[in-house]
Amino acid sequence: GPARALLVEDDPNERELLAGVLRMQGCECATAADGADALAYLRAHERPDVVLLDMHMPRCDGPTALRAIRAESRLSGLR
């Protein structure tokens, strides 16, 4: 099936623009507004093939989210 991506971006315009580009390329693309939302998504949904992660976000930034993802064994090897 199509590749599944989770796009994490706090700017709503950039988030929708990038998600639209990915969808035009045939990618299934879920979105999250920050790292906390991304972690909640990853805990509740089937694992995506890739996470595209903005590094500078309020509440839970990219490096914080990445450390949390890496700490979860079921997300091991997630790109």
- Lowest average pLDDT, out of 2-11, 27-36, 51-60, goes to 51-60
Instruction: Give the list of residues 6+ apart from residue 26 with CB closer than 8 angstroms, or none.
Output: 2, 3
The tokens describing 46, both together, are 């089937």
Residue 48 CA neighbour count, 13 Å, CB half:
24
The rounded distance, in Å, linking the Cα atoms of 48 and 79 is: 9
The rounded distance, in Å, linking the Cα atoms of 53 and 63 is: 9
- Lowest average pLDDT, out of 1-10, 40-49, 58-67, goes to 58-67
pLDDT the model gives residue 58:
86
- Find the mean pLDDT for residues 34-40: 95
